Amino acid sequence: MSETTPEASRHFIQQIIDDDIASGKHASIATRFPPEPNGYLHIGHAKSICLNFGLALEFKGRCHLRMDDTNPTKEEVEYVDSIQEDVKWLGFDWGTHYYQASDYFARMHADAIRLIEMGKAYVCHLTLEQMREYRGDLVNPGKPSPSRDRGVEENLALFAQMTKGELDEGSAVLRAKIDMASPNLLMRDPVIYRIRKASHHNTGDTWCVYPMYDYAHPLEDAYEGITHSICTLEFEIHRPFYDWLLRTLDTPAKPRQIEFARLNLTYTVMSKRRLLELVQEKRVSGWDDPRMPTVSGLRRRGVTPTSIRKFCETIGVTKHNSLTDVALLEHAIRDDLNKTVPRAMAVLDPIRLVIENYPEGQVEELEAINNPEDPAAGSRKVPFSRNLLIERDDFMEVPAKKYFRLTPGQEVRLRWAYFVKCTGVTKDAAGNILEVRCTYDPATRGGENPPDGRKVKGTIHWISESHAGDVEVRLYDRLFSLEDLNSLADGEDWRTHLNPNSLKVARAKVEPSLLQTKPGTRVQFERVGYFCADTKDSTPGKPVFNRTVTLKDSWAKVATK
């Protein structure tokens, strides 16, 4: 056990490994992250990545990255590449330990033949529907397949026919011969090989039969010498077959499968199948749409790998499924960005502010601190002039109670600039406000309190109108409006809960320096939120800003109304 980590704060998997090392069962550990390359990784996978690679780092072991590519009809090289990119971006390195299940196909096939020779596997011709019928249920035992007692030589010959492509898809499968009366339905002679006459992205047309995941996964772990095979709770019922297979084949390595609770987030779909449907139905712009919970989507939105790792550490590792508030993820993102990103001013819904007593044509360069949390970030110069732009909702002609921003006769501080007091408004013929007029106090330069000691309660941001840059701003919000998407009734369409306001586009006015923002650069728009220059749609001199997260949890206010 680590000398620096109290036992009480260590989760159950750490404690299992502590015991295994203390007892001498393992001198070092080996974990693995084994995604199927049939889609992009999401935040739930990030939890598994942080856990598996984190344990390997903590115990000075190794963690393998392995593609569980046993289904050629759903897997693509694009997904393989994206998975590798995401794992690296999160800050982890598998070194020389990159593997693919497809690299083991010949070895797995040989082990299947061994099972047949041992009388532990047979070729079955039941259809899928018939197998379900024969399997029985939790009350009734299953019925043996008519093929169950076929002889070894005939099974070997039939499996050879399957392998050569001489049998049609669906006409035969290879099943493990275990126990048709087992209380665990997955032990009632599970299918371990099926015919798929499809080209594989790695092995091409070499194979006409492919192993099932439940058969391939324990063998992959054993071949690679994995010590602790960590997976989510839904695989707990699969563990008896995992152990049966390794025991029956007497593999030199016998990894231990350990299950932990997967990540479920509020307002978030975590099903890879549903995420694929969102992409295919063009409800989002792609796997890396900034509203998606994919690692690539979070990255494009401006989320940092540090904040994701911190979030995964905060939620911990347990044996019980629960629903985690997405606000915890957003808090981790804010906390990290607050410490690391520079500030700038941007106005999303501008209205003109005219300073009547400021000289016409004069421009000042005012000093603004880049990040109050980081003195090393320094400062920048911001142009200031007579005509400014402020947020429309920072002025109210008839103020509400406790409204401390700009109103007639009320004084506010312009961020990094001066105190100003509203003297009136200019309206069009329909009564719409065209501009707000005010005066400024030259003694308050830099936003400092004046010599007479008077104070103001409100501070607002601004942009010099003649210097303002014009940019597109994408205001991303939660993709779904339903808190718990696992609570849907049978047959209820989850798509009906898509949030129609998950994306709003605005034309914002920004400090001129922001026009040179490079793609991927993060910034805080003061009093507005955290943003990132889009890595796809930004062009030189014309950045497109994606909102990463608001400054505060606006949904909490809605929930309490």
Active site residues: 36, 262, 272
Q: Which residue intervals of 74-212 are DSSP H helices?
A: 77-89, 105-117, 128-135, 152-164
Instruction: Give the three-class secondary structure for 211.
Output: strand
Between the alpha carbon of residue 284 and those of residues 488, 502, 549, the distances in Å are 22, 10, 18
Spell out a b/e string for 441-450, using b for 16 or more CB atoms within 10 Å of the CB, else e.
Answer: eeebbebeeb
Nearest CA-CA partner of 300 in 146, 487, 520 = 520
Structure tokens at 298: 């979070």
Residue 393: what are its φ and ψ, rounded to 5°?
Answer: -85, 5
Residue 164 CB burial class (10 angstroms; 0-12, 13-18, ≥19): exposed
Residue 535: what are its φ and ψ, rounded to 5°?
Answer: -85, -10
Distance CA 162, CA 112 (A): 13
The beta strand positions in 159-251, using DSSP E, are: 173-176, 191-195, 209-211, 228-232
Between the alpha carbon of residue 542 and those of residues 261, 465, 513, the distances in Å are 44, 18, 11
The beta strand positions in 442-479, using DSSP E, are: 459-460, 463-464, 469-476
Amino acid identity, position 274 = R
Distance CA 304, CA 302 (A): 6
Other beta carbons within 10 Å of 413: 19
Structure tokens at 138: 């939790």
Instruction: Give the three-class secondary structure for 180.
Output: coil
Nearest CA-CA partner of 303 in 263, 268, 341 = 341
The beta strand positions in 452-518, using DSSP E, are: 459-460, 463-464, 469-476, 503-510
Instruction: Give the three-class secondary structure for 389.
Output: strand
